[in-house]
Amino acid sequence: MRLLTSPLWTRKDNLLRWFFRIVVALLSIYIVSMLGLAAFQRRIIFPRHLTEPYPGAGKNIAGLQRIWIDIPRGKVEGWFIAGDGAGPEHPAPLVIFAHGNAELIDYWPEALTGYRRMGINLLLPEYRGYGRSAGSPSQQAIADDFTKFYDLVVRRPEVDGSRVVFHGRSIGGGAVCALAALRRPAAMILQSTFVSMRSMAARFMLPGFLVADPFENLEVVRNLDAPLLVIHGRADDLIPFPHGEKLYAAAQKGKFIAYECDHNGCPPDWNQYWRDIHSWLSEIGILP
């Protein structure tokens, strides 16, 4: 006797086969996409190919001094700019500023003139592979280089080593947190900064274990026994506002300033920005 297959069961079997094939195809696409994203993540996180050094960079900045540190494949550049009135007889505070991931130190001396006018020295370390600097960027490379710059500059006679402030913007917040894990600052400013790179990667469904440079900023902030100022734009769509709120909530000695702006528009008012920073630095004793 011949067994007949029910048309209903045939249709169900076919549907299951097609469903299984679609699931396998989608899973394969996801795995390939994640592996590709993981392989190119440093090009995404550190898009130095998008930056262009200024011709004659630094030549028109009064008092700018170039500093170079040695790395295995060459040298990394840093700029030191003395604050107004700072000198061996009048050592002044130092701000170590770390810029965003698609920027160069070339872009910042004029924007950061406010520090110099407060009488604060400024150090702008570059990332490996950016501008005129050799090598390739990574969290470990940045931590190593920033530590070398710190140790070199903090000994200068015009620098008061007890009043060193770390200031990081965007990915620069990760850079100064990496430094803070190795050298204790007198205070720190995190501007438009993320909680961790793993939390950012999760937005793109990239598993945390595939993140090469985790930048665990929240963990550093929790362990930081120094005043912290968090600055964040409420309309930041690149690093959402809750990241700033979480960093502030984790701080032992924190202050939070929210501006009505997006990521690249922070701060919206530079005059107010410098008033806020001056007020905070005075409150915590960095400035008289």
Q: What is the mean pLDDT of each run of 10 residues along the chain (288 residues)?
A: 55 64 55 50 90 90 95 96 97 98 97 98 98 97 98 98 98 98 98 96 72 96 98 97 98 98 98 98 97
Please name the fold of domain 49-283. Rossmann fold (3.40.50)
- The shares of helix, strand and coil residues in the chain, as percent rounded to the nearest 5, are 40, 20, 40
Q: In angstroms, rounded to a whole number, what is the distance separating the alpha carbons of residues 108 and 255?
A: 24
* The amino acid at 255: K
Every domain of the chain and the residues it spans: 8-39, 49-283
User: Looking at residue 210, what is its pLDDT?
Assistant: 83
**How do strand 159-169 and strand 187-191 relate by DSSP bridges?**
parallel
CA 208-212-216 angle, to 5 degrees, is 65
53 half-sphere exposure, CB direction, 13 A CA radius: 12
- C-alpha dihedral (175, 177, 183, 189), degrees to nearest 10: 100
CB crowding 208-239: b at 16 or more within 10 Å, else e: eeebebbbbbbebbeebebbbbbbbbeebeeb
CA 255-261-264 angle, to 5 degrees, is 100
Name the strands in the sheet holding 64-71, side by side, starting at the edge strand that comes first in the sequence: 64-71, 74-81, 121-125, 92-98, 159-169, 187-191, 228-233, 254-259
CA 72-75-78 angle, to 5 degrees, is 135
Q: In angstroms, rounded to a whole number, what is the distance separating the alpha carbons of residues 139 and 149?
A: 15
Cβ contact 119:84 at 8 Å = yes
3-class state of residue 120 by DSSP: coil
Which pTM was predicted? 0.88
**How do strand 74-81 and strand 64-71 relate by DSSP bridges?**
antiparallel
Q: In angstroms, rounded to a whole number, what is the distance separating the alpha carbons of residues 252 and 229?
A: 11
